[in-house]
Amino acid sequence: MRKSKFMKLFFVWIAMVSLTLTTEAIAKEKPYKGVTITMLVTGHPATEAMKSVIPDFEKETGMRILLDEMDYTRLYDKAKMELSSPVSAYDTIMTDGVWIPEWAAKNLIVPLEPYLKDPGLGDPTYDLEDVLYIDANLTYNGILYALSMSGETNLLFYRKDLFEKYGKEVPQTMKDLMATAKFFHERESRLYGISLRGKRGPEIYFGWAMLLFPFGGTVIDENNQPVINSAEAVESLEFYVELMKYAPLGQSSFSYDETVGAFIHGEAAMFIDATNIAYMENPDYSRIVGKIGWALPPQKEGKPSKTEACGWTLPIPANAKNKKAAFKFIQWLTNKENDKRMALVGGMPNRESAFMDPELVKKYAYYPAVLEALKHIDPTVFPRLPEWPDMQEYIGLAASEALLGTKSPKEALDWAQKKLEPILAHYRK
């Protein structure tokens, strides 16, 4: 009787000691146990892919990840409001790469190099050189401000079945593109030539920029002065307006959703846009699974190929509460292993190693094409300037008016040039 009581006490003591020891061990291994990371996100295949790996991170570190999901249209101002308040409610924000320069220039987000080099925090196997999109999406003035969550470039997508049926070649030049769009437009009822974005604002700029840069135009020159009304730019906008005659009705109000919608519902023969292919090949949404072909976007005769790079990135707000813990999370999320894991469930990879990975290439036959398009990136398609959101408003309006026909492309772009000049005047030497 006595002995058993002693034994009981002994066991309790053992249990307590081991518990203290383990909690100490946990504290060493899991320094951020119990910390909650709040993240502002928007609906995207990458967000869904991220959700599938987050439980592992929570198990591994004892941290909690809280996602606040918001409509894309409201994301920018919501984020900006949080960043300008004394303490941000979010520890990291799903950020369109084009917003990084503005936020970095205003010191609203922090440089990530020190965190990456922090011996207690930085992952030595992270391999930043493996990450694509760095210049185009993650930096401002050469300083790293974000990690890449979902990188994208653009390709020409076309309906393999239709091209075969009518014996058409995939267009290589802009002239071919126009002719092919016209050809399919006149062939079948409810089939249009091409689908491109046209809604006023950032959307129409995206649609037109696919042509502007291959035509040899740019938004700014090397001294950061606007050149939006150059002869090349005007020519490309005229081409865009002409090409949109072969686009589905309503295209001048179409954002990405409706533009990709027209293509995957089988209403357009061609589509030039972001490489969000896992979505287009998903039978839950798409009627043309297995019929999608892809190629490098057409070139302007005698001019080099140009593609854009855009995508979702993860910066850390300067006014965030748990900066180190947040860094630990985004570093983990974007490491080699998870880049591949998320790609397997529908995300877009951000690393060259993932694009070369045999298992992934076997599953996604378009990876080599994306990698090829990435070689032709012009990082100035979305100029890395803090003024860009401001500038884009005017460019987006000018292009929209040209598309509507209320102004000629030349008039519209002259107007935009006049609006951009004062915005960029302070760069003038």
Partner 1 sequence: MGKTLKKLKGEYFPYLLVLPEVIYLLLIIIYPLIFSLNLTFYKWTFGLPFDTKKFVWIQNYLELFSDSLFWTSVAVLLKYAVVSITLELSIGFGVALLLNRELRGAGVMKVLMIVPLTITPTVVGLAWRLLYNAQYGMINYFLSLFDIGAVDWLGSYTLAFFSVIIADVWQWTPFMILILLSGLQALPEEPYDAAIVDGASSWQVLKYLTIPMLVPVILIAVLIRIMDILRLFDKIFVLTFGGPGTATEVLSLYTYRIGFVQSHMGKAAAASYILLFIIVGISFIFVKLSYKQIEM
Binding site for partner 1 (CB under 8 A): 73, 76-77, 80, 83-84, 102-103, 106, 108, 198-201, 248-254, 258, 261-262, 265, 267, 389-390, 393, 397, 400-401, 403-404, 406
Residue 26 CB, nearest distance to partner 1 (Å)? 40
Instruction: Give the nearer residue to partner 1 in terms of CB position, either 289 or 404.
Output: 404
Answer whether 208's CB lies under 8 Å from 237's CB: yes
In the three-class reduction of DSSP (H, G, I as helix; E, B as strand; rest coil), residue 111 is classed as coil
Taking residue 389's Cβ as centre, other Cβ atoms within 10 Å add up to 16
* Among 122, 196, 138, 192, CA closest to 162: 192
Instruction: Give the nearer residue to partner 1 in terms of CB position, either 91 or 102.
Output: 102
* Among 398, 356, 282, CA closest to 130: 356
Residue 187 CB, nearest distance to partner 1 (Å)? 17
Instruction: Give the nearer residue to partner 1 in terms of CB position, either 322 or 400.
Output: 400
CA 18, CA 246: separation in Å to the nearest integer? 73
Instruction: Give the nearer residue to partner 1 in terms of CB position, either 52 or 224.
Output: 224
In the three-class reduction of DSSP (H, G, I as helix; E, B as strand; rest coil), residue 248 is classed as coil
Indicate the residue type of 247. A
Instruction: Give the nearer residue to partner 1 in terms of CB position, either 342 or 391.
Output: 391
Strand partners, 154: 274
Residue 216 CB, nearest distance to partner 1 (Å)? 27
Taking residue 337's Cβ as centre, other Cβ atoms within 10 Å add up to 10
Burial label, 365 (beta-carbon count in 10 A; 0-12, 13-18, 19+): exposed
Residue 282 CB, nearest distance to partner 1 (Å)? 18
Put residue 167 in one of left, alpha, beta given phi > 0 → left and psi -120 to 50 → alpha. Answer: left
Instruction: Give the nearer residue to partner 1 in terms of CB position, either 236 or 255.
Output: 255
Residue 404 CB, nearest distance to partner 1 (Å)? 5
Instruction: Give the nearer residue to partner 1 in terms of CB position, either 108 or 381.
Output: 108
* Among 89, 105, 72, CA closest to 37: 89
Residue 283 CB, nearest distance to partner 1 (Å)? 18
Residue 233 CB, nearest distance to partner 1 (Å)? 19
